[in-house]
């Protein structure tokens, strides 16, 4: 771990992590984390040594021009600290790239840092390609392997079996270290997953707000989401087979979601609307 500055004493910190690569369909997870970093003015405090974990022929360094000076930026995983948050606690943000090698050592470094900072909760973000329509709300799934966390937030344990990405390894290591964790995943339409999906990012962000009963601020994400949906509409309408497929996905999801239109769901949505309107007026 390359420490950039002395680490301060933190207020009941939580850690939120997102990684580019296999876990990040539609750049959903990393875009959400970048949004949090901007909204909360997060500052970098550390980074992992890229030489240890990345194949630079896969994740190449980038040359940039900053104030007329050429700068070389190495691919790495950065640690940022947000202290001005609406949660009344500090938030450690892990802005990462899925490593090319030494996953166990990579994860050990992150979990050791979490322990040193006395992180009480680790939240991982993810995006996956799924058979869902772009015209409906993006499904978001939240799971936890920590029993107390499941009861507190009314979550389920994950039933997934199969290949996993670095998110799965980090969650497993946190569980072994006794750190409570939850994993939040947004389902991105697989036929529109090749470009950034602000609608999925907005869905992840909204779910975070619900979990922590707070408002984070969406900036222009809603406008971006509408523009994205309009663009996919045009793409689908230009191909009869795609249009028919989207229609079948809409019918399937509408049938599945009917029981969800409960009084509690409507009341929660109305409460969020009132709070956001009050914030705008202030």
Task: Please report the pLDDT score of residue 260 as a whole number.
Answer: 47
Task: Please report the pLDDT score of residue 264 as a whole number.
Answer: 55
169: how many CB neighbours lie within 10 A of its CB?
Answer: 17
Binning pLDDT at 50, 70 and 90, where does residue 6 land?
confident
pLDDT(220) > 50: yes
Instruction: Determine the Cα–Cα distance for residues 22 and 167; give it in Å rounded to an integer.
Output: 9
pLDDT(7) > 90: no
CA trace torsion 97, 122, 87, 83 (10° rounding): -50
261: Cβ contacts below 8 Å, ≥ 6 apart: none
Task: Please report the pLDDT score of residue 79 as a whole number.
Answer: 95
Task: Please report the pLDDT score of residue 185 as a whole number.
Answer: 96
Average pLDDT over residues 138-157: 92
- CB distance 254 to 234 below 8 Å: no
């Amino acid at each position: 771990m390359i420490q950039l500055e002395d680490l301060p004493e933190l207020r009941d910190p939580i850690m939120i992590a997102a990684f580019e690569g296999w876990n990040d369909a539609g750049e959903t997870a990393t875009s959400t984390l970048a949004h949090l970093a901007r909204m909360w003015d997060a500052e970098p405090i550390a980074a992992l040594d890229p030489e240890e974990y990345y194949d630079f022929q896969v994740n190449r360094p980038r040359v940039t021009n900053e104030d007329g000076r050429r700068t070389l930026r190495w691919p790495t995983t950065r640690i940022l600290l947000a202290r001005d948050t609406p949660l009344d606690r500090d938030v450690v943000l892990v802005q990462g790239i899925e490593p090319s090698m030494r996953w166990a050592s990579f994860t050990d470094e992150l979990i050791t840092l979490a322990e040193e900072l006395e992180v009480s909760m680790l939240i991982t973000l993810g995006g996956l390609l799924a058979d869902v329509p772009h015209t409906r709300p993006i499904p978001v799934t939240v799971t936890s392997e920590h029993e107390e966390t499941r009861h507190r937030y009314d979550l389920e344990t994950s039933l997934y079996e199969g290949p996993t990405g670095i998110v799965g390894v980090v969650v497993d290591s946190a569980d072994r270290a006794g750190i409570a964790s939850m994993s939040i995943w947004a389902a991105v339409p697989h036929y529109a997953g090749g470009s950034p999906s602000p609608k999925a990012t907005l869905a992840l962000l909204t779910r975070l707000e619900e979990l922590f009963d707070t408002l984070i601020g969406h900036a222009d994400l809603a406008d971006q989401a509408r523009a994205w949906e309009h663009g996919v509409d045009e793409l689908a309408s230009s191909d009869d087979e795609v249009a028919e497929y989207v229609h079948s996905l809409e019918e399937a999801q509408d049938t599945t979601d009917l029981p969800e239109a409960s009084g509690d769901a409507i009341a929660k949505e109305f409460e969020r609307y009132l709070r956001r309107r009050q914030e705008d007026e202030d």
